[in-house]
Amino acid sequence: MLRLSTLFVRTLREDPADAEVAGHRLLVRGGYIRRAAPGGFTWLPLGWMVYRNVERIVREEMDREGFQEVHFPALLPREPYEISGRWTDYGDNLFRLQDRRGADMLLAPTHEEMFTLLVKDLYSSYKDLPLVIYQIQNKFRDEARPRAGLLRGREFSMKDSYSFDIDDAGLQVNYDKHRAAYMRTFDRLGMPYVIVSAMSGAMGGSASEEFLAPLAVGEDTYVRCTRCDYAANTEAVQVAPPVSPAMADAPPAKVVDTPDTPTIQTLVDLMNGRPDLRHPDRDWTAADTLKNLVVTLRHPDGTTSALAIGVPGDREVDIKRLEAQVSPAEIEPFTEADFAANPHLVKGYIGPESLGEASPSGIRFVVDPRIVDGTRWITGANSAGRHVVDLTAGRDFTADGVIEAAEVHHGDPCPVCGSPLEIARGIEIGHIFQLGRRYAEALGLTVLDQNGKTRVVTMGSYGIGVSRAVGAIAELNCDDKGLVWPREVAPADVHIVATGKATDPQLPAAEALAARCEEAGLRVLLDDRVGVSPGIKFNDAELLGVPTIVVVGRGLADGMVELKDRRSGDKHDVALADVVAQLRDLL
RNA sequence: CGGGGUGUGGCGCAGCGGUAGCGCACCUGCUUUGGGAGCAGGGGGUCGGGAGUUCAAAUCUCCCCACCCCGACCA
């Protein structure tokens, strides 16, 4: 039994100055956690109970699938990470240190290498597979900016598992098992979630999905369909290409003088205001224009190349989406010097006819999926102050490829069903990812198959942020009075408040009730503090957020106590004799 | 790494050249007990650090450091 009279906790009346988001504030005010380092938190007894409940649920759902838990050191030597390339790839986010002999060490940011090497150590036959092993451990990342309490720390707890299979079919099976296990886990944690595709098909990547908790304070932007179940990370949104208009209907392209039209809007206004340029049956809009942006790509080997991106003029190029498409190359602005070096490009009037690998400029030209053959565009004519009208894709120009880099707008059609998409914010709480053979290849994890031939193992990696989940649960389950824990993660099932003086009958009655509750299998938090006013006790009960509150107060004279649901605020009087039975029904 | 902000008792804050304060929390006593009680008494702070200016620095100047927020970055 937890007794508030002796529990190591101090609730705060006022908000801590350094906590911004509601969940974080309440976790600190309720005495669940304390900040101990930038991005590092101490778990106080109540917080540690909640943490362990979350961990237990995650573990139970892993074990249910037959996955096996292992435990690694957090302090690791450089070599494995050197071999996989991540000693350098991880950059500044890796915590590096040296031992007394000057040997490079690191604090593990994640353990792919160690899992892979461990399996390589022990297994060498296809008969040993499939295998799934997992860990629940603290990870260390030197985040540039920790924020929002538990939502982004520099030391944090994560469950991650790895699957090892001989072939893609086996990988798919383990991927699906994790997907199902994660859905069960988040349901039990009382967390709403959205599963979004995390990697664009244009990358040709393997399957990867993120579990996002819908939180306004989250760091990820995603879209979801207002009608069907389509959802995707913004980076991964696929635009449904329109049906190609008939090419034969397209009038010939015509170059026109368009002075003083530095922006899309001024161009559209001029077109609509000039009788000779007006559209026969409607106004031109920005969506009729084709905007061409040139950037420089810096490739990992240090070389650079230019890339031109064509998007409809009513939307900008989304740099994050573009980066996701061109990764691992990095994007740099196209400078004046670059323009000077490319005389075929007229700044502000770049047109498709000067772009493309086969064009005089030789610059690779990729376009938004909306730019299908037969679509007609107003776009730059590669000549200052001039644009071209009715330039028709597939007839007047052909792009080198398609790219998903245009901004996604609220209300864009869903690629699956065509209904409007909505844009929302969330935070990643789980990620399932078909890694494939990258680590197995780099670290030499192979087994012999049935024919005695060497086969590279294929892997999957699956993570749940455990400490982050605690932060997200708090954020998702709170009101202006305090936290409201889902029952399975709550530090107790029932919070019993005894009012009255030390000599009043309420305290012994509450003690007796608490004992009976425990016998009935309920986890009890008893507020047995004496000399504390009822107001403080009620407020603390609401702040701490145990799902059910029982007040042993002035009704006791009539044999009654008050039973209150923390979430709804509903309360009613119950005969003392019936309380335990009613509480058990809540479980 | 850019921009902004803050460092004064456990927490939240005021003070901005002249004896370090307020509220909450804490300790003692008495009263009080259904929504963060009252009275009386009390303990606790090298004012983030260093250097300077000054008769005198929490306060002014310079240099550091730490933390928070926004952005960049980020499984």
How far, in Å, is the CA of A17 from the C1' of nucleotide B18? 32
**A108 with A135, same domain?**
yes
The interface predicted TM-score of the complex, written ipTM, equals 0.88
Q: Which DSSP helix (H) or strand (E) runs through A210?
A: strand A208-214
User: If we measure between CA atoms, which residue out of A503, A498, A507, A515 comes closest to residue A551?
Assistant: A498
Quickly give A160 CA vs B42 C1' distance in Å: 54
Q: How many domains, chain A?
A: 3
Name the region of A221 (left: φ>0; alpha: ψ -120 to 50; beta: rest).
beta
> C1' nearest to CA of A208: which nucleotide?
B75
Q: Which domain holds residue A171?
A: 58-237+423-471
Quickly give A33 CA vs B21 C1' distance in Å: 31
The answer to whether A388 and A254 have CB atoms below 8 angstroms apart is: yes
First to last CA, chain A: 17
Are A283 and A396 members of one domain? yes
Question: What is the C-alpha separation between A517 and A581, in angstroms, rounded?
Answer: 9
> What's the CA gap between A492 and A441, in Å, rounded?
48
Judged by C1' against the alpha carbon of A465, the nearest nucleotide is B75
How far is CA A468 from each of CA A51, A161, A178, A408, A420, rounded to the nearest angstrom?
A: 10, 17, 19, 28, 31
CA angle A468, A469, A474 (to 5 degrees): 100
Which nucleotide has its C1' atom closest to residue A157's CA? B75
The helix/strand/coil state of A9 is: coil
- In this structure, are A334 and A373 located in the same domain? yes
Which helix (H) or strand (E) segment holds residue A223: the answer is: strand A220-225
Write down the pLDDT at residue A203. Answer: 38
Q: Are A325 and A205 in contact (CB under 8 A)?
A: no
Q: Name the β-bridge partners of A459.
A: A164, A436
> CA–C1' distance A394–B49 (Å)?
69
Domain with residue A554: its CATH number is: 3.40.50.800
Which bases of strand B have any atom within 7 Å of the beta carbon of a protein residue? 1, 11-13, 23-25, 31-37, 66-75
Inside any domain, residue A484: no
What is the spatial distance between Cα A565 and Cα A295, in angstroms, rounded to a whole number?
58
Q: Which nucleotide is nearest to A143 (CA to C1')?
A: B74
Comparing every residue's Cα with the C1' atom of nucleotide B34, the nearest one is A534
Closest nucleotide to A18, Cα to C1': B68
A295: CATH:
3.90.960.10
Q: Which nucleotide is nearest to A463 (CA to C1')?
A: B75
- Whether A44 is in a domain gets the answer no
Shared domain check, A374 and A273 = yes
User: Which nucleotide comes closest to A532 if you measure CA to C1'?
Assistant: B33
Instruction: Transcribe A333-396 into DSSP letters.
Output: E--HHHHHH-TT--TT---GGG-STTSSS--EEEE-TT--TT-EEEEEEEETTEEEEEEEBTTT
Do A304 and A445 lie in a common domain?
no
**Backbone phi, then psi, for A27, in 5-degree steps?**
-65, -35
Q: Which of A48, A34, A64 is nearest to A157 (CA)?
A: A48
| The predicted structure's pLDDT at residue A57 | 96
- Per-residue pLDDT of chain A (587 residues), as tens digits, is 999 988 888 888 888 777 778 888 899 899 898 888 888 888 889 999 999 999 999 999 999 999 999 999 888 888 877 777 777 777 778 888 888 888 888 888 888 888 988 988 899 899 998 999 999 999 988 887 788 888 888 889 999 999 999 999 999 999 999 999 999 999 999 999 988 887 644 333 467 888 998 888 888 888 888 888 888 888 778 877 888 777 777 788 788 787 777 777 787 787 788 877 787 788 878 888 888 888 877 776 777 777 888 888 888 887 777 777 777 677 777 777 777 777 777 777 788 887 877 777 778 888 888 888 888 888 887 777 888 888 787 788 887 888 888 888 888 888 888 888 888 888 889 999 888 888 888 888 898 999 999 999 999 999 999 999 999 999 999 988 899 999 999 999 999 999 988 888 999 999 999 999 999 999 999 999 888 889 999 999 999 999 999 999 989 989 999 999 999 999 999 999 999 999 999 88
CA of A520 to C1' of B10 (A): 39
Query: Distance (Å) from CA A538 to C1' B32?
Result: 18
- Say if A51 falls within a structural domain: no
How long is the CA A472 to C1' B45 vector, in angstroms? 37
Measuring from the CA of residue A501 to each C1' atom, give the nucleotide at the shortest distance: B33
Instruction: Evaluate whether A153 touches A146 at the Cβ level (below 8 Å).
Output: yes
- Kindly report which amino acid residue has its CA closest to the C1' atom of nucleotide B5: A18
Assigned domain for A544 exists: yes
Q: Please report, for residues A232, A235, A433, the alpha-carbon distance to residue A197 in angstroms, rounded to integers and kept in the order given.
A: 5, 9, 10
The answer to whether position A188 is within a domain reads yes
Q: Within a domain: residue A358?
A: yes
Evaluate whether residue A354 is within a structural domain.
yes
Name the packing angle between helices A22-29 and A466-476 (round to 10°): 100
Cα A556 to chain center, whole Å?
50
Name the residue closest to the C1' of B25 by its CA: A12
Same domain, A152 and A263: no
Q: Do A367 and A507 sit in the same domain of this protein?
A: no
Question: Residue A251 gets which letter from DSSP?
Answer: P
Q: Tell me: do A543 and A511 sit in the same domain.
A: yes
Same domain for A66 and A104?
A: yes
Nucleotide nearest to A21 (CA to C1'): B69
Stated in angstroms, how far is A18 CA from B60 C1'?
29
For residues A435 and A571, state if they share a domain: no
Kind of pairing between the strands at A104-107 and A75-77? antiparallel
Spacing of A16 CA from B68 C1' in Å: 11
* Residue A204 and residue A127 in one domain: yes
Distance A118 CA to B2 C1' (A): 43
In whole angstroms, B25 C1' to A536 CA is 13
Closest nucleotide to the alpha carbon of A429, via C1': B75
Question: Separation of CA A206 and C1' B11 in angstroms?
Answer: 51
Element (H, E) at A174: helix A168-188
Q: Which amino acid does the sequence have at A147? A: R
Phi, psi (5° rounding) for residue A507?
-65, -50
Q: Which helix (H) or strand (E) holds A64?
A: helix A45-64
Distance between the alpha carbon (CA) of A247 and the C1' atom of B62, Å: 72
Contact A218, A425 (CB under 8 A): yes
Residues A536 and A453 reside in one and the same domain: no
Q: How far is CA A567 from the centre of its chain?
A: 27
